Each structure stands twice: as structure tokens, then as C-alpha cells.
Structure 1
Amino acid sequence: MMNQNRSQQKRQPEDAINHDIRAKEILIITEDGRRIGPISKKAAIEMAESANLDLLQVGQQESVAIAKIVDYGKYKYEQQKRAKEVKKHQVETQNKEIRLTVKIGEHDLDTKARKAREFIQNGDRVKVSLKFKGREIVYLNQGQDTLMRFYEKLADIAQIEKEPKLNTRFLDMYIVPKKKN
């Protein structure tokens, strides 16, 4: 008895089919697009079963449910196939981070810019964090200048997504690849 209740709790149908439809009257759309009804729920289910198909609720209008007569297994399969196709065409970008300091040397800045260039060429979003140590926080202008010097090294392939913003002891800026026209 306990296992049966647990399995019923896990299985929450996302689509109302056949007897799961709660409305008393149903407007049916057949496979070929014709509209039948509104008719009683019992008559609609009998109509679907006589065609060896399922009744799937696709909408609701006041007290009348709108349902289609479909092969539910085939319907779910095609939905999964469409979702897989959409997912295949999505581009996934990653967030990468480069850390700088206020008193970073020019050579070190070039090295970090080279690494950021690699990330941007791969299509990634780069968070540039400039850390203020101790009392360096009072030199906020120098920190912003350092970030702008860093960005100028990447300006040909990148654009600023979020301007530099102070976040506790870090001055953060986000850069992304330039949009191609």
C-alpha cells in the first residue's frame, strides 16, 4: 500500500489525457483538424478509444476543455525530438575570469590580455576583476584606468557588456565578443 502511494506521488502527468481531464464537457479537435462538440467527457473518451487513440487536453475555455484525439506515445516522442533539435542549435557560452591588481606590470597585463583574447575568440564571456589590497581602495581611479588599459588591448574583438562596478574589494567588468553584422 505504501509503495503504491509513493509511485502515485512521483507520477504527476504534465498532460491531462483520457480520464485525467477534469472538465465535464469537451470540445474535440480530430487528427484532421475538424471540431466536434462540445460533448460529454464520457462520449469523447469513447470516441478516442474507438479509434485506438488518446484524448489529450490542449486548452481550456471557461468550463469546456479543448482536447485533441492523438496517439499519445507518438505525440510525446515528437515533442522530445523537437526539444532535442532546439537544444542542438543553442550556443553555450561559459564565464571565464581574469584577475588583475592596481599595480600590475605592463608585461603581466599583456599576458592576461592574451589569455582573455583566447577566451573571447572561443565565444566565452570574460569577467575582469581588479582586486584592491589594503588601502589601495582609495585609488579607485587608478583601478578604472588599469581596467580600461586592459580593455584597449581587446577592443578589436570585444565589447564591454557591463561597465566597471565596485563590488566590496573588487572592481568588476564584463566583456563579451563583438557581435558580427
Structure 2
Amino acid sequence: MNQPTKNNKNIEQINYDIRAWEVLIIMDDGSRIGPLGRNEAIRFAEEKGLDLLLVSAVSNPPVAKLVDFGKYKYEQKKKEKENKKNQHITENKEMRLRTGIGDHDLEFKAKKVREFLIEGNRVKISLKFRGREVARPEFGKETLDKFFSYIEDIAKVEKEPQLNGLFLDMYVGPKK
């Protein structure tokens, strides 16, 4: 049976899956036929060669619509596909640094982060401390500031640098 559950509310109730004893019937064009008993409404739908689809179960009486269910499902999938096509999915990328990183390495990694930002992705810049380096997080902050100076023309800081264990993490995103 196609009964909606707590986990899956997207299952439609059609024909004999409808539990209400009486339903208000609406045609495709929006005209109302009136409240009928469930079995009578299903018989009416079958005479027309259509299915009875429950639209609103919370109203009194529940509202059902006469539709061609196969066509209805096809159009729903088509709309869903169109909506997915128009979405832009932002990925989270990560770049790892160290406190004693050289200038050339920093520039090279900044170039790669620049590519990520141009693609529209969000980037997590993680600076890893080793050993006693974690006692002096200001050196890590300086390195992150220097790194950000290479990309500040196309990036904005979404989350300020924050110490998480042995990592100093900062999130940057593309400027609009």
C-alpha cells in the first residue's frame, strides 16, 4: 500500500489507498464536483479513465483530484529534473599548509585555491602544527594572513581562523 509514513511523506495516496470515507473531488481544470463517498468517487474516476489522487488530507472533507496518475508522475519527475539542473552545488575543498612553508609553495597553493574559488567552491584552509608549534598559534595566524593576501581579490573570509586541536582552520568563499 502507498501509505505515507513518518519517514517518507512523498508517497501519494491514490484510489483505494485513500482512507477517508468522504472526499471533495476537483477536476484537472479546477472545477469542483462535490463531496462524494470514497468508493463512489473511485467509481466516478474509473468511468472517466482517471485516478483519484489525494491532494489535501488535512482539510474537512479531504480534497482529491482526478488525474491520469502515470502522466502526473511523469510531469513531477520532469519538474524535479528541471529543478536539479538549475541548482548549483557548492563543494567544500581543502588546502593544507604548515607554519614554515616557503613563499613559492604558498604562492603555488594559492594558485590552486584561486582555481577552486573561480569554480564557485568553498575552501577550508587548514594549517597544521607539529609538536610545540601549537604553543605559538600567532605564527600560524601570520601564515594564514600571508596566504589570504594572495587570494583576497577574489575571496572573502567566511569563518575566521579557529584552533581545532593541531589545526588552525579558516574558511574562504568566492566574492560575488
TM over 0.5: yes
Q: Distance in 2 between matches of 1:28 and 1:157?
A: 56
Residue 80 of structure 2 corresponds to 83
Q: Determine if the alignment matches structure 1 residue 129 to structure 2 residue 130.
A: no
3-state secondary structure, aligned to 1:22: coil
What do the CA deviations read for 1:65-115 (whole angstroms, capped 9, x no partner)? Answer: 210000000000000000000111111222221111112122211111111
What do the CA deviations read for 1:24-61 (whole angstroms, capped 9, x no partner)? Answer: 01011111211222221111111101100000001123
Question: How far has the Cα of 1:131 moved from its partner?
Answer: 0.1
Can you give the 5+ residue segments of structure 2 that lack an aligned partner in the other structure?
1-8
Q: Distance in 2 between matches of 1:107 and 1:155?
A: 17
4+ residue runs of structure 1 moved beyond 4 angstroms? none
**Identity fraction in percent:** 54
Residue 169 of structure 2 corresponds to 172
From 132, 155, 158, give the equivalent of 2:152. Answer: 155
Is the contact between residue 129 and residue 172 of structure 1 (CA under 8 Å) also seen in structure 2?
A: yes
Q: TM-score, normalised by structure 2?
A: 0.90
3-state secondary structure, aligned to 1:153: helix
From 18, 21, 28, give the equivalent of 2:18. Answer: 21
Letter in 2 for 1:144: K
What do the CA deviations read for 1:133-161 (whole angstroms, capped 9, x no partner)? Answer: 00100111111121111111101001111
Number of residue equivalences: 168
Residue 66 of structure 2 corresponds to 69
Q: Determine if the alignment matches structure 1 residue 92 to structure 2 residue 89.
A: yes
3-state secondary structure, aligned to 1:64: coil
Q: TM-score, normalised by structure 1?
A: 0.88
C-alpha root-mean-square deviation of aligned residues, in Å? 1.5
Is the contact between residue 25 and residue 63 of structure 1 (CA under 8 Å) also seen in structure 2?
A: no
Residue 104 of structure 2 corresponds to 107
Residue 32 of structure 2 corresponds to 35
